[in-house]
Structure 1
Amino acid sequence: MSSSFDKSKYSHIKKIILLSGKRKCGKDYLGEKLAEKLHAVLLHLSEPLKLEYARLNQINGEQLLTSSSYKENYRKDMIKWGEDKRHEDSSIFCRLAIEQKDEICLTNPIWIVCDIRRYTDIEFFQKYFSNQLLLVRIEASTDTRNKRGWIFTSDIDDSESECQLIFCRLAIEQKDEICLTNPIWIVCDIRRYTDIEFFQKYFSNQLLLVRIEASIDTRKKRGWIFTSDIDDSESECQLDENVDWSFIFSNNDTDNFNEQINNLIKIINS
């Protein structure tokens, strides 16, 4: 499938509303009500994902599109498959969601996208429709979501698909009083490209990217033991390549720690 997108077909667009929120917060309900009142096109990025996943695995795609318990049997594996596809092509499901309803999209000036979950989803629409974009966050308490049938599920509700849009922002908000007065922030645990992208988006001129490296022997002496599905996971490995680091700090026992930290401080203060 081509990764190109022909924006010129959609010059009639007046507004694209992107809805974001956690499971059982009411994204679909709000999207349906807005679409009804605005006579808008309702798009789901998960729809092409689910239909293609169903086709490849020979299961019922229409059932995956419902809120039934059927899709819960496949959710974890479906999320993993979707992440793999996005790593190959970050905007694939944004384009497919539009293409699958292209006949309606070509004539309707208002689109509502019900399930924005990642920075790359937002970036796709910002790239092509920045002047028409409206970003809406839907929030509901844990109690409310529980009443609607939500049950916390590990590897789903704490996964990138549910949480990517909030952790950088929450880290700042939790120390907001200090952040409002201190001119230097140090973020100790950047693990993904999207973490970097968040700070590049808002603080590109102030950003310094520091990579800390230590040999396997050094890490073992500090108690590290390789654990499958953790040390070979995305959270540990994604930034191992394709990052233009401002400073690489070599932190083995034989390295000159004081010399390196002094050099780093000079760069910070420059």
Structure 2
Amino acid sequence: MPDTTSAPVLELRGVSKRFGAVQALSGVDLAVHSGEVVALVGDNGAGKSTLVKTIAGVNNPDEGDIIWRGRPVTIRGPHDAQKIGIATVYQDLALADNLDVVGNLFLGSETRSAGILDEIAMESRSQELLDTLSIRIPSVRIPVASLSGGQRQTVAIARSLIGDPRVVMLDEPTAALGVEQTAQVLDLVERLRDRGLGVILISHNMEDVMAVADTVAVLRLGRNNGFFDRRRTNQEEIISAITGATDNAVTRRAARTHEAESGSGFDADFGDRPPGGP
């Protein structure tokens, strides 16, 4: 488990963001420690994407502070975020299908020797990085277009590590993946944590969240609506914070299932019914 008694590597204090008349974020706080996976969850429109883009330098906050390793910083663009050590893997991955794995890993960060691309050095570094992360790819020279969805996701995550970041943000990394591919990506998330990186995991999948997160941060309507220690919470408590109510579709369904299994003859939505009734 991460040492949460030490100072966070990344901290947001009272961050707000407005787009015209729309208040997307209102006084949001967030803290990420080295070696910690923080799951950022919330319903559609909760502000998750806006918050990620604010950390990544795509959006500039209107109010609040971003604290990096104990010092306030101003992130004016994605280059600033990458320079200080924040990497982002968006859901679309932004991989170039016409390039091989090496070409994608070093896209925009090519190694040169005497002004010429150093293919040998990049290939060696690519293989070393994939081996370190236990990423299984048939060859670093295989075209990315021929990889599975899970392999593509792991290549995108590996690419984010080329600049040796301290924090990695993953936007829905298991969306549209099968069970085995999802397991591979979650294993990789755990290896990032084991390497001492802070990880922000944006996900709608509560099973994935409960599998790898240390802390679960809930956003609702652009505001903080709870921080939960994954070891001391459950899916129902988190979903209640996401929806803003203890009585929601998930808890009602759970109640109906419990009653059906207990054979009480009680319907959670309609109450007791007499035998043979409609």
TM-score normalised according to structure 1 size: 0.32
Q: Which has the higher strand share?
A: 2
TM-score normalised according to structure 2 size: 0.31
Q: Which has the higher helix share?
A: 1
